[in-house]
Amino acid sequence: MARPPVEKANKRKYMLEKLSGRVFLFCALLSVISLLLIIGFVFFKGINPFVAEGYSFINFLFGDDWVPSEDQFGIFPMIVASIYATIGALIIGVPIGLFTAIFLAEIAPKKVAKIISPAVQLLAGIPSVLYGVFGLAVIVPFLQNNLGLAKGQSLIAVILVLAIMMLPTVVTVSETAIRAVPKSYREGSLALGVSHIGTIFRVVVPAAKSGILTAVVLGMGRAIGETMAVILVAGNSLIVPTSLTDSVRPLTTNIALEMGYAAGVHQEMLFATGIVLFSFILILNFVLAKISAKGGN
Amino acid sequence: MLKKFKTFGLVVIPLTILLSACTPSNDSESSNGGNYTLAISGSTSVGPLAEKLAAKYEENADINIEINQIGSSAGITNATNGVSEIGMASRDLKEEEIANGLTDQIIAYDGIVVVAHPSNKVDDLTIEQVKQIFTGEVTNWKELGGEDMEIVVVSREDGSGSRDAFQEIVGYSSGELIRNSIVASGNGNIKTTVATNKHAVGFISFEYIDESISPIKINGVEAKAENVLNGTYKLSRPFLFVYKDENLSEKGQQFIDFILSSEGQKVALESGVIPIK
Amino acid sequence: MRSFKDNVLRGLLWLAALLTIAILVTIVGYIFYKGIGLISFDFIFGDYSPTGGGGIWPMIVTTIYTIVISLVIATPIGILAAVYLQEYAKQGRLVRMIRFATESLTGIPSIIYGLFGAVFFVTTLKLGMSIIAASLTLTIIILPVIIRTTEESLKTVPRSYREGSLALGNTKLQTLYKVILPSAMPGILAGIILSIGRIVGESAAIFLTAGTVAALPESIFSSARTLTVHSYLVTQEAGDIELAAAIGIVLIVIILILNLLATLLSKILNKADY
């Protein structure tokens, strides 16, 4: 008589187990669903003008003129601006960030590093808008008044803001990578009579290469995707920049500036701008995956 | 296969219930008249005036007025497709917009003023000169009687009512605008940019005039309300509230009535624009 | 010759570190210097005023709304997803796909999330520019963070705990909520705190989904502006650097407190390891 309830309870337990496993699976699949939805919606909206309304994708990518009210949509100036701004920020931000990371991991007294490293990490969490506020309040007037530019809102201002913004990311990630290099590497090199600095640059840094590359790619991702901080200092002009002092409009800025009031084809073209940006990021992610796969080996 | 649907149902159904449980509570709140939300969106030129009018009106009325400053074109679009009850525009409606069934109500008039940095000696331009500046024919202040320095043009974004109205009166198109002009979204942004750059020239609504920038006369006429009214100052346009008749609620109509009343028009006068009466 | 090169390099290392510190101290210092004069009780708790001189209370409330709603949705989903990946799934193609998706979500710039939120939540689901639309967008943004940190902390729960519990006759599910999740709790909390930081710092995605209404939100279906968006708008529109910096101080203090909490929790977590 006592058996059936137990069996029943067991059955219920079993059912619950099975069910919960499926609920968990569904939750895990939600991130896949979200990604597919995001890609789906952005691509669906962005491809429409080229598929259904006869706009040329080549003219979109390589056209110089972006005049939505006159039905002209060319984003070449923005692509160039995004690429220049990102590369420029890397040229300034990576060496400074990497050297700071080496300093913190290898040279600084432990006590000093213990204070500075968390402080730098903290700065990675500061809202990027504040870097833009600083850029507009300090960097733009500096360029105008001290360097005599006609307008401070320029490619160089964007590059400086992005370089500063990526510093904490580059420092934190490369510092972790450098610290992860086994002690025996250093000891071996030192035992061979190589100096401390020589050891750092010839042994430790090459050993931490994949981690440092990850830092660079992450910093790059942050730079190319940054929007609001850039709007404040870019000037948003629609020209292909030919010098550092030209004001520019990167891809992200174009979307945020015009999304508020765009409708119809204009809005779809902003999604198309998003696709181009998305493609850049996907390429970066792919590179990152390659790097971490190599690091794993 | 069936089991998969069950799992799906288990997650989706509670989610739907949760969401639908939230929705009616909001609806009932607004429909019992306790606190009606009036959604208004559009021009950043009309926005500050609308905010002041709303603040004054909310003192005595049980209503919550929500104002989104997103530019004239977006406001007109929102009013057309019902996202907002009322749209704000700082330019005349285009033919196709009227064809979409929009009604417009002028709530005030406003002037557009060309502004430069306070240190700039140039204080009077002809409309033709303004056009030459914004189309890039003239690129140095020297040619306009000022110092020998580059002109930095600051324009509003495509889709701004002020920009549309300005371009129409001055007589150039978006395609002709000088390409390296700084594009600023919003009147405030233009004012700040011009106020901090001695090379700059831009255009803003009368409401935004203050000592941080220097207003420029057009054909020798000062940018003042009375000059707009007597027709000597040409750079002016209407401030519109646009709506679809079927979307306009009683509460919305009452707000418009308040704006057109002498009390509402007094607020308009105080905020620096030109009342309709 | 070698030692000369060494000295140059050593000098450069010092220079870079000093430069980094100088830049970061300058930025934070500048924001505090510019903004501190505005900070007062009335500023934090006062209502916004369109004519200037008002407070930022409506933006604080909006920020809290977005934090609470997105956490309420993302936390359970994220934890359960991590549990699936760590405790239930057989490592294989499906898990690789889920991991790939989660990692890809981390890399997407927030403006793309904003575009998606604007077309999906705002337009397609007809939620309008609203707190709820922004919060749902934020949910997707923080989901990978919660999944990753939960997974990390599940990894630290010793296998012996699981085996002990199972040996006592507990089912897998009972083991999960009686043993595994409680011991992983500090790590999960750290993930939640990181997510709050991400939400507080977010601007572009919220800008496109919640709108910019500067008023106390009536409900979660109201359009509103968060602190970060407010600091952007006052800079952009009014050029009011002092106000933007004062909001910046509030934001930095929030981030600082969150970081301290996270550090504290990870210390607890490390102790639990022994």
Which pLDDT tens digit goes with each residue over C11-60?
999 999 999 999 989 999 999 999 999 999 999 999 887 767 788 999 99
Name C59's Cβ contacts closer than 8 Å, sequence gap at least 6: C48, C214, C224, C225, C226, C227, C229, C230, C247
Q: Do C213 and B52 touch (CB under 8 A)?
A: no
Query: Would you say residue B209 lies in a domain?
Result: yes
CB contact under 8 A, A227 and C2: no
Hey, which residues 142-171 in chain C have their CB within 8 Å of chain A?
143-144, 147, 171
Question: Which residue of chain A has the CA closest to B68?
Answer: A260
Is residue C213, in this structure, part of any structural domain at all?
Answer: yes
Interface contact A257-B185, CB threshold 8 A: yes
DSSP state of A276: H
In a domain, C8, yes or no: no
Provide the mean pLDDT of chain B: 84
List the one residue out of B55, B26, B35, B32 whose CA is nearest residue C128.
Answer: B26
Chain C nearest CA to B238, separation (Å): 22
Domain carrying residue B44: 38-110+238-271
Q: Least CA distance to C241: which residue of chain B?
A: B192
Q: Which pLDDT score, from 0 to 100, does residue B9 have?
A: 41
- CA distance, residue A188 to nearest chain C CA (Å): 19
What is the predicted pLDDT for the residue at A179? 93
- Tell me, yes or no, whether B20 lies in a domain: no
- pLDDT over 90 for what percent of chain C? 48
The reply to whether residue A97 touches residue C12, judged by beta carbons under 8 angstroms, is no
Q: Does residue B11 sit within a domain?
A: no
Residue B227 and residue B146 in one domain: yes
Q: Are residues B126 and B173 in the same domain?
A: yes
Q: Write the residue in A103, A197, A255 that is nearest to C17 by C-beta.
A: A103
Q: Would C43 be classed as within a structural domain?
A: yes
Kindly determine whether residue A258 and residue B159, on different chains, have CB atoms separated by under 8 Å. yes
User: What local confidence, expressed as pLDDT, does residue C270 receive?
Assistant: 65
Class of residue A214 by CB neighbours under 10 A (exposed 0-12, middle 13-18, buried 19+): buried
What's the predicted TM-score (pTM) here? 0.86
Q: Which of A151, A266, A270 to mutate to test the interface with B (most CBs of B within 10 A)?
A: A151
Sequence-distant (6+) residues with CB within 8 A of A29 are C98
Under DSSP, the state recorded for A149 is: -
Confidence of residue B1 (pLDDT cuts 50, 70, 90): very low
Substitution target in B5, B158, B193 with the highest count of A β-carbons within 10 Å is: B158
* CB spacing of A255 vs C101 below 8 angstroms: no
In chain B, what residues touch A239 (CB-CB under 8 Å)? 179-180
* pLDDT score at A70: 86
Say yes or no: B141 and B183 in one domain: yes
Q: What SS3 class is residue B236?
A: strand
**How confident is the model over C212-233, as pLDDT tens digits?**
888 888 889 988 999 999 999 8
Residues of C in contact with A131 (CB under 8 A): 27
Whether residues B118 and B229 share a domain: the answer is yes
Is pLDDT above 80 for B30?
A: no
Under DSSP, is residue A41 helix (H, G, I), strand (E, B) or coil? Answer: helix
Closest by Cα among B155, B149, B152, B192 to B172: B155
Alpha helices by DSSP H, listed for chain A, are: 3-51, 57-62, 76-102, 110-124, 128-134, 140-145, 155-179, 183-191, 196-199, 205-207, 209-225, 228-234, 251-259, 264-296
Per-residue pLDDT of B153-182, as tens digits, reads: 999 988 788 898 999 999 999 889 999 899
Grouping H, G, I as helix, E, B as strand and the rest as coil, residue B237 is: strand
pLDDT computed for residue C173 by the predictor? 84
| Three-state secondary structure call for residue C226 | coil
pLDDT beneath 70, residues of chain A? 1-5, 295-297
Would you state the structure tokens that stand for residue A31, as one six-digit string? 């991130």
**Per-residue confidence (pLDDT) for residue C272, from 0 to 100:** 55
Asked if A169 and A219 count as a contact pair (C-beta separation under 8 A), the reply is: yes
Q: Let me know if residue C137 belongs to a domain.
A: yes
What is the architecture, at CATH level 2, of domain A77-296?
A: Orthogonal Bundle (1.10)
* Residue A295, pLDDT score: 62
Of B37, B68, B188, nearest to C218 by CB-CB distance is: B37
- The minimum CA-CA distance between A41 and chain B, rounded to whole Å, is 21
Q: Kindly state whether residues B141 and B228 are assigned to the same domain.
A: yes
Q: Which helix (H) or strand (E) holds B201?
A: strand B200-205
For residue C68, what is the domain's CATH number? 1.10.3720.10
Encode pLDDT of B199-253 as tens digits: 999 999 888 888 999 999 999 999 988 898 888 998 999 999 999 999 899 999 9
Residue B31 falls inside a structural domain:
no
* Domain-located, residue B1: no
For residue B34, name the pLDDT band (cuts at 50, 70, 90).
low
* Residue A68 contacts B, CB cutoff 8 Å: yes
CATH assignment of the domain containing B56: 3.40.190.10
Give the minimum alpha-carbon distance from B236 to chain C in angstroms, rounded to a whole number: 22
- Do C133 and C205 meet the contact criterion of CB atoms below 8 Å apart? no
Q: Which chains pack against A, by 3+ Cβ pairs within 8 A? A: B, C
B94: DSSP letter: P
CB nearest A237 (choices: B174, B179, B200): B179
Q: Domain count of chain C?
A: 1
Note whether B115 and B128 are same-domain residues: yes
Containing structural domain, residue C249: 39-273
Say whether pLDDT at B29 is over 60: no
Angle of helix A264-296 versus helix A251-259 axis, rounded to 10: 140
Nearest CA in chain B to A144: B197
Instruction: Provide the pLDDT confidence category of residue B134 given band limits of 50, 70 and 90.
Output: very high
C135 lies within 8 A of chain B by CB: no
Q: Which residues in chain A (16-35) have CB-CB distances under 8 A to chain B?
A: 19, 22-23, 25-27
pLDDT of B256 > 90? The answer is yes
Q: What is the mean pLDDT of residues C140-156?
A: 91
Q: Among A232-246, B102-116, C1-15, C187-201, whose mean pLDDT is lowest?
A: C1-15
Looking at chain C, list the stretches that DSSP marks H as alpha helix, in order from N- to C-terminal side: 2-35, 41-45, 57-83, 93-107, 110-117, 131-156, 159-167, 172-175, 181-201, 204-210, 227-233, 241-273
Domain ranges of chain A: 5-49, 77-296
Residue C23 domain flag:
no
What are the distances in angstroms from CA C90 to CA B145, B205, C79, C95, C164? 78, 64, 18, 7, 22
Nearest residue of C to residue A131 by CA position? C27
Contacts of C15 in chain A (CB under 8 A): 99
Nearest chain A CA: its distance from C3 CA (Å): 8
Name the residue facing B150 among A67, A68, A150 (closest C-beta). A150
In a domain, C3, yes or no: no
- For the segment C65-84, the average pLDDT, to the nearest whole number, is 94
Q: Domains in chain B: how many in total?
A: 2
With contacts defined as CB-CB under 8 Å, which chain B residues touch A270? none
The answer, for A144 touching chain B at a CB cutoff of 8 Å, is yes
Nearest-CB residue to B68 (from C212, C219, C236): C212
Instruction: Specify if B163 maps to a domain.
Output: yes
**Domain annotation covers residue B140:** yes
Contacts of C213 in chain B (CB under 8 A): 66-68
Cβ pair B188:C237 closer than 8 A: yes
- A127 → closest Cβ in C9, C80, C201: C201
Residue recorded with tokens 């990027």: A128
How close, in Å, is residue C193 to chain A by CA atoms? Answer: 12
Residues B179 and B220 in one domain: yes
pLDDT category at B5 given cuts 50, 70, 90 is very low
Q: Are C111 and A103 a contacting pair at CB < 8 A?
A: no
Q: Are residues B167 and B97 in the same domain?
A: no
Q: Are residues B76 and B170 in the same domain?
A: no
Identify all chain B residues contacting C212, using CB atoms and an 8 Å cutoff: 68-70
* C134 within domain boundaries: yes
Contact C131, C70 (CB under 8 A): no
Mean pLDDT score, C244-264: 90
Spatial distance between the Cα atoms of B84 and A215, rounded to a whole number of angstroms? 45
Pair (B160, B187) in one structural domain: yes
Chain C: give the shortest CA distance to residue A274, in Å. 6
- Interface contacts (A, C; CB < 8 Å): 245
Taking phi over 0 as left and psi of -120 to 50 as alpha, with beta for the rest, C226 belongs to beta
**Model pLDDT, residue B94:** 84
Cβ-proximal residues to A84 (8 Å cutoff; 6+ apart), any chain = A155, A159, A241, A248
**Beta strand pairing status for B103-116 and B86-89?**
unpaired
Specify the pLDDT at position A17.
81
CB atoms within 10 A of CB B60: 9
pLDDT of residue A162: 96
In angstroms, the CA B179 to CA B189 distance is: 19
In a domain, B27, yes or no: no
Distance, in Å, from the CA atom of B42 to the CA atom of A103, rounded to the nearest integer, reads 53
CA separation for the pair A151, B134 (Å, rounded)? 16
User: What number of other Cβ atoms are within 10 A of residue A182's Cβ?
Assistant: 10
